Amino acid sequence: MPTLAAIFPPTQAPERLGAVAAAAEVSGLSELWVWEDCFCQSGIATATAILAATSHVGVGIGLLPVPLRNVALTAMELATMSRLFPGRLTAGVGHGVADWMSQVGGKVSSPMTLLREYTVALHALLRGETVTSHGRYVHLDGVALDWPPATVPPLLVGGIGPRTVGLAGEVADGLILPGGLSPDDVRAALGHFHRSRTASDPARIVVFISVPADSTAAAIAAAVGDYALAGATHVAVNASGSGTDLERFVRFLALEVAPLVS
């Protein structure tokens, strides 16, 4: 059975986060996912707010754009969160939207090279290793975290292109696939992922989907089941439509959709 999650999109005002997190906690929803879109919200800040406001809800960041943030700073932030809230965080990294990265002066000529260097270094830092890297973009000289996490959060790579998906299989703990993909698209992407997979541990495959806020529980459960059959281990649902009552939708997912998901 896949893990069912809700999405708190960056189009929602940050001050709504507390009520949505409370709804997830009280109703027993397994996970909430956030992400870092320019120029809406910090993925780190929103994820930390959810973790601090709840006791059981898992939180996923999908994703942090690597051209926007130094890898040592990201490692420090994720390590702090993981020590404060062990076992409840999943982190995702990715290229970021090219236009936004250009807008903030972060555009690079080889996004794949940056993502590879960054993910490898971040993974090693979170495992408590001392890292020296003289890559094309990532430069670290004997860097180690003073407070590495006792429970290392799963580190996923987000994307859809075959090269990015293959990179996720090679260097990450799993893959985040964006909304708008069909189950067949997911199967095709996972073909690239598994052909590149080097680790023996089970991978997390997170698929974002969007559904109308007035969808029936049966319809959402059927969609989640289709993506699970395609290979998703986690399905994060975004409620589309203006004026969506996200607290109500979170309770609806937990109490009415989750029992139907198999």
* Predicted pLDDT at 242: 63
DSSP state of 152: P
Q: Does the global pTM surpass 0.75?
A: yes
Per-residue pLDDT reduced to its tens digit, 154-204: 999 999 999 999 999 999 999 999 999 999 999 999 999 999 998 888 999
Q: For each of the chain's 262 residues, which pLDDT tens digit applies?
A: 899 999 999 989 999 999 999 999 999 999 999 999 999 999 999 999 999 999 999 999 999 999 999 999 999 999 999 999 999 999 999 999 999 999 999 999 999 999 999 999 999 999 999 999 999 999 999 999 999 999 999 999 999 999 999 999 999 999 999 999 999 999 999 999 999 998 888 999 999 999 999 999 999 999 999 999 999 999 999 998 767 899 999 999 999 999 999 7
Cis peptide before 63 (omega within 30 of 0): yes
Distance from the Cα of residue 200 to its chain's centroid: 21
Token match 């601090």: residue? 52
- The C-alpha atoms of residue 226 and residue 203 are separated, in whole angstroms, by 19
Query: Hey, what domains does the chain have and what are their CATH numbers?
Result: 3-260 (3.20.20.30)
49, 34 Cβ separation under 8 angstroms: no
6, 253 Cβ separation under 8 angstroms: yes
Which parts of 132-256 fold into alpha helices (H)?
Answer: 162-171, 183-196, 217-230, 246-252
- The C-alpha atoms of residue 262 and residue 251 are separated, in whole angstroms, by 18
Is beta strand 204-212 parallel, antiparallel or unpaired with respect to 3-7?
Answer: unpaired
* Predicted pLDDT at 240: 87
